[in-house]
Amino acid sequence: MFLKPMMATVVALGLALPAMAQEREFRLGLITPPVHVWNKEVDAMSETLKERSDGRFSITAFPSGQLGNESAMLQQLQTGALDMAWLTTAELTFRVPDMAALHAPFLVDNIEDAARVLRSDEAREILDTLPAATGTVGVCYAMIGMRQMVLRENIDSAADLAGKRIRITPAPAISTFFEMFGAAPAPMPLPAIYDSLANGQIDGLDMDYESIINFRYYEHAPHILETNHHMFGMVALISAPVWATLSEEDRALISEVTQMHCDRTIDRFVTEEDKKLASLREVAGIQITEDVGQDFFGDIVERWDAEWGAKTSYVARLRELVASF
């Protein structure tokens, strides 16, 4: 006589469970603060995903390294403790040496070509190695623009970098660039930079216009050399254990929506790069040295390629690709 109510419960649960199981709020970590273009695009991505999934999916962002630095977030993705993250290509080079090729000095000399590299089949192939190397699925690349030198005191030649402590995003390939001039690269996560600069612990930074503006680094390092010495990419990642729980249809939907917002991020950086430089020109006290090209750095490309070209064939492949543009 208990059968009927029990059956009713089972049937009710049976009907309710699949619908409930499909609803999901994905947790997405980033190192950048809420004002940053990446964060705004993640908010927009959450809206698109809600709309396209009829309200089943949404994304909650954890900005400013709240969940730890990028290396900690990568570990959380690997175990499934974190669902998604937008991480720098620099961080991924520790596990995926091929990605170091994207940081080759003077691989491209403008942001439009940086976008073309990030959208290339060659760059896409590197993403295909992520599940095995990192336990994550790399859905797409985006970017933060080109990197410039931001210095406390001006320099007249690359040789003047000798002995200077320059903050870099942790990544061996970026360290190599500065070490080749006798500088002391100081790997440090983004949220730690401002205080180190204010305390005089570092002499300069390897940085992009968006971050220079957002974090007002010029208050303590007012000399900007427009070097465009490497491009700075980002990868939109999904935890592989989380990916494994999704249906084919949901994977396709999430991939499509993520790709759309990666593309928008790239397009925003491409169209806004010049305006950002122009806005920095208006800030009192900043000295900008424009068009500091590859020649300023002597034979750095040959030297860097000799070291990193031995570690990954993508250095030569990406140089060939860019030569074909």
Residue with tokens 């908010």: 43
Please measure the distance between the N-terminal and C-terminal CA atoms of the chain and give it in whole angstroms.
77
Residue nearest to ligand BEZ (CB): 169
- Nearer to ligand BEZ among residue 87 and residue 321 (C-beta): 87
Judge whether 240 and 32 are in contact, CB under 8 Å: no
What phi, psi does 289 have (nearest 5°)? -100, 110
Residue with tokens 């930079």: 193
Binding interface with ligand BEZ (CB under 6 A): 31-32, 88, 144, 169, 190, 211
Residue among 32 and 227 whose Cβ is closer to ligand BEZ = 32
Closest CA to 46 of 27, 71, 18: 27
**Which CB atom, from 231 or from 321, has the smaller least distance to ligand BEZ?**
231
Residue labelled with tokens 């074909």: 324
Question: With respect to ligand BEZ, which residue has the nearer C-beta, 58 or 75?
Answer: 75
Minimum distance of ligand BEZ from residue 68's CB (angstroms): 14
Residue 22 identity: Q
The distance of closest approach from Cβ of residue 142 to ligand BEZ in the complex, given in angstroms and rounded to an integer, is 11
In terms of Cβ atoms closer than 10 Å to its own Cβ (0-12, 13-18, 19+), residue 260 is middle
- Residue 270 beta carbon to ligand BEZ: minimum distance, rounded to whole angstroms: 16
For every residue of 241-256, DSSP letters joined together read HHHHTS-HHHHHHHHH
Site of tokens 């939907």: 253
DSSP state of 157: S
Cα Dmax for the chain: 91
Least CB distance to ligand BEZ at residue 266 (A)? 14
Least distance from ligand BEZ to the Cβ atom of residue 105, Å: 16
| Strands 204-208 and 287-289, bridge-based pairing | unpaired
Nearer to ligand BEZ, 144 or 146 (CB): 144
Question: Is the sign of the CA dihedral 172, 175, 177, 182 positive or negative?
Answer: negative
User: What is the closest distance, in whole angstroms, from the C-beta atom of residue 92 to ligand BEZ in the complex?
Assistant: 12
Q: Give the separation between CA 220 and CA 153, rounded to whole angstroms.
A: 10
- Closest residue by Cα to residue 301 from 153, 167, 158: 158
Question: Side chain identity at 42, as an amino acid letter?
Answer: V
Structure tokens, 63 = 């900005």
Instruction: Between 58 and 69, name the residue whose CB sits nearer to ligand BEZ.
Output: 69
Convert 215-239 to b/e letters by CB count within 10 Å (16 or more is b): bebbebbbbbbbbbbbbbbbbbbbb
